[in-house]
Amino acid sequence: MERVVNRPRPALLSGTLLLVWLVPAAAGAQSEPHAAAPPAPSEMSKLWLVVGGASATLRSECNAPANPDSPHTCGQSPYRHSGSLIADIGYRVHDRMDVGAELFWMPTNTSSGHIRVTHVDAVAQFRPWASQGFFLKGGAGLAFLRNWVDAVGPSSIDQKALSVVVGAGWVFRPADRLGLEIFGMQHAGAIGDVQTSEGPIENVMGNFWSVGAAVVIR
C-alpha cells in the first residue's frame, strides 16, 4: 500500500517565511524606546512684579540746634511701629537680576499728629546663586512726607527728602512665574526740618525697618 506524502504548498511556505521574518523586527521595534523630542523653549516673561506687606518700625534722629537756648531740643524719638505696604514693578534682566521702581508706604501717629511717608526708589535685586533663592536689594530715590500737625491746622505739611534702601530676603520658587518672598529692608530718608506742635526740629533723619512677605510675578 502506497504512503501518501503531503507536500507543503508554495503559498503556505512563503507566508510562513514572511511571518518568521516580521516577528523579530516587530519585537525589536517595541523594545527600542522612542526618543522624546526636546521641548520647545518657551518665551519667558520680562515682567517683574512684587506686591506685599510688612511690619515696620520708624525712628527719627536729628542734630542738636545751633542755638543752645532754643527750646526745641533734639532728643532721640521713640520707636514707632506700624504696618506698611511695598510694591515693585520693573524688568527682568536675566534669571538672577531684576531692576525697576519700588514704592514703600508707611503711616504712623506722633505726639503732635500723624505722618504718611512714601518712598519711591529705583532698585536692583540680585541673586548671587542661580540655584538658591537668597537675594540682595539696593536703590535710591525720593521720600515724600505728609505731616499733619494738630496744633497747626487740618492741612498737611508736605516735604520731600532723599531716600536710600538696602535689604535682603529669600524668594521661593524663583524659576516659576508665580512665587513668594520674605524680606527685611531698611529705608532711610534725609527729611530735613520737621514741624511739630512745639515748633520745628532741624536736620531730621528717618530710619524705617521692615520685615514682611510679598507675592512675586515674573
Q: Grade residue 97 by pLDDT with cuts at 50, 70 and 90.
A: very high
Tell me the CATH number of domain 47-64+78-217, given options 3.40.50.300, 2.40.160.20, 3.90.550.10, 3.40.50.2300: 2.40.160.20
Inform me whether the pLDDT recorded for 203 exceeds 90.
no
pLDDT for the residue numbered 75: 54
pLDDT for the residue numbered 103: 97
Q: CA angle 105-183-167, nearest 5°?
A: 80
Question: Does residue 49 contact residue 217 with C-beta atoms inside 8 Å?
Answer: yes
Q: Which of 185, 181, 179, 176 is closest to 209 using CA atoms?
A: 185
pLDDT for the residue numbered 192: 76
pLDDT for the residue numbered 41: 41
Task: Give per-residue pLDDT as tens, 48-66.
Answer: 999 999 999 998 877 655 4
Instruction: Give the start-end residues of each E strand in the chain.
Output: 47-62, 80-94, 97-110, 113-126, 134-149, 157-172, 178-196, 199-217
Instruction: Give the start-end residues of each E strand in 63-133.
Output: 80-94, 97-110, 113-126
Q: Which of 135-139, 146-150, 159-163, 188-192 has the highest mean pLDDT?
A: 135-139
- Angstrom distance (rounded) from CA 101 to CA 8: 89
Task: Give per-residue pLDDT as tens, 148-185.
Answer: 876 666 777 888 889 999 999 999 988 888 999 999 99
Question: pLDDT over 90 for what percent of the chain?
Answer: 44
Q: What is the mean pLDDT of residues 125-145?
A: 94
- Angstrom distance (rounded) from CA 135 to CA 132: 9
Q: What separation in angstroms does the CA of 214 have from each of 49, 52, 114?
A: 10, 4, 26
